[in-house]
């Protein structure tokens, strides 16, 4: 059982209910943002949004899906974990900085994987899901 801060003290919900509520929250934010950028979805994200550092040049509409799948779902969180949802460009949350640094870490690791000659994969990869598996805390054991 997980306890969400939005619940009254002592109330608990199941993991599935948590996932469903996180999806609903992410969908709400995506819908609101898409409405605010209507007509600009194909423009580079860095010309539509503030403080884009990693995904410069990526279409603004595509960025929302990247954030949803690659970050939110991979870590089992919603937008508010890294962002001030009233000001997505804000740099106030440390989690946003950590996410950027971890993205760079994953990119460096992908580069290193190219040197592992015995790997059978033509394009070995590492991403947020590799360690986090839909949980905020990375998997540190098989238990």
The string of pLDDT tens digits covering residues 107-116 is 999 999 988 9
Domain housing 30: 19-132
Distance, in Å, from the CA atom of 81 to the CA atom of 26, rounded to the nearest integer, reads: 11
Instruction: Quote the pLDDT of residue 41.
Output: 97
Query: How many domains does the structure of the chain reveal?
Result: 1
60 part of a folded domain: yes
Instruction: Quote the pLDDT of residue 121.
Output: 85
2 part of a folded domain: no
Neighbours of 139 (CB within 10 A): 12
Q: What is the CATH number of the domain that holds 108?
A: 1.10.468
Three-state DSSP class for residue 126:
coil
pTM of the full structure:
0.79
3 part of a folded domain: no
14 part of a folded domain: no
Residue in this structure with the two tokens 């937008």, named with its chain if needed: 79
29 part of a folded domain: yes
140 part of a folded domain: no
Above 80 in pLDDT, residue 5? no
Confidence of residue 139 (pLDDT cuts 50, 70, 90): confident
């Amino acid at each position: 059982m997980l306890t969400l801060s939005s619940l009254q003290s002592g109330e608990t919900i199941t993991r599935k209910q948590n996932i469903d509520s996180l999806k609903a929250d992410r969908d709400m934010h995506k819908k609101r943002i898409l409405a605010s950028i209507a007509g600009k979805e194909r423009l580079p994200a860095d010309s539509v949004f503030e403080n884009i550092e990693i995904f410069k040049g990526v279409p603004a509409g595509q960025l929302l899906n990247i954030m949803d799948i690659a970050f939110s779902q991979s870590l089992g969180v919603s937008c508010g974990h890294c962002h001030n949802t009233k000001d997505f460009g804000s740099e106030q949350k440390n989690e946003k900085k950590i996410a950027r640094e971890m993205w760079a870490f994953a990119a460096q690791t992908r580069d290193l994987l190219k040197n592992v000659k015995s790997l059978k994969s033509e394009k070995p990869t590492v991403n947020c899901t590799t360690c986090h598996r839909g949980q905020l805390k990375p998997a540190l054991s098989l238990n």
